[in-house]
Structure 1
Amino acid sequence: MKLLRVLVLVALPLYCLAGSGCLLLEEAINKAIDSQVSIDEYQNFLQPFTYGLETKEAIAELKQCFLQQSDETLSNFALMMNEIYNSYWCALF
């Protein structure tokens, strides 16, 4: 859960900085909310950014949090991310 907080706090300014043009960050979020992507696939995708067993376990917990959500919740999360991309505050960058 701590990783989720860190991810959100770090990712939001990066989204605004990169707009929706940061493909790696967008793909990481899209894979996190995609219920067809397994925990192992997600960990493999983020392998270059994984430092140690604790980080790998945190990534697995993050993905598990998304896997436990309903399709409606995941859809709303994706919608929220699009709203962030198109927000007034991100447009300033």
Structure 2
Amino acid sequence: MKLLIVLMLAALPLLCYAGSGSGCQLLDDVVEKTIDPEVSLSEYQQYLQEFLDSDADQEAVGEFKQCFLNQSNETLQNFDLMMKIIYDSPWCRAF
């Protein structure tokens, strides 16, 4: 389960495209909901429901969101900044 969470974290920046944000509105929305402490665990799981095929997927997404809910606002802001830096990087613009 922890491996799946790590893979989800690693995959987010790899999906970026040229332009501001990721270039993919769905990805931008998922990242925003992931780091938003006002989005509850159940709201997050419901938002991603169409992409979840099993109870294991549901549990993994729940653990993923819970990791962010356990973080301070400062950490969440730093994660958001990191994502913006990644999106604006020359490596991302190459895709």
Q: Same fold (TM over 0.5)?
A: yes
For residues 10-45 of structure 1, give each alpha carbon's deviation from its aligned partner in whole angstroms, at most 9, with x where no partner exists.
Answer: 222211478621010111111010000000000000
Q: Compute the displacement of 1:90 (Å).
A: 1.1
For residues 49-93 of structure 1, give each alpha carbon's deviation from its aligned partner in whole angstroms, at most 9, with x where no partner exists.
Answer: 001101001111011100000000000000000001100111222
Pick which of 69-78 and 23-32 moved more: 23-32
8 Å contact kept, 2:17–2:23: no
Task: Could you list the structure 1 runs, at least 4 aligned residues long, displaced by more than 6 angstroms after superposition.
Answer: none
Taking a change above 3 Å as real, the CA distance of residues 39 and 3 of structure 1, as seen in their structure-2 partners, is same
Q: Read off the aligned partner of 2:82 and give its amino acid letter.
A: M
Q: Which runs of 5+ in 2 are unaligned?
A: none
Q: Hey, what does 2:56 align to over in structure 1? A: 54
Q: Hey, what does 1:9 align to over in structure 2? A: 10
Cα RMSD between the aligned structures?
1.6
Looking at secondary structure, tell me which structure has more helix per residue. Answer: 1
8 Å contact kept, 1:42–1:63: yes
What is the 5 A alignment of 1:1-93?
1-16=2-17, 20-93=22-95
Q: Which runs of 5+ in 1 are unaligned?
A: none
Output the TM-score relative to the length of structure 2.
Answer: 0.89
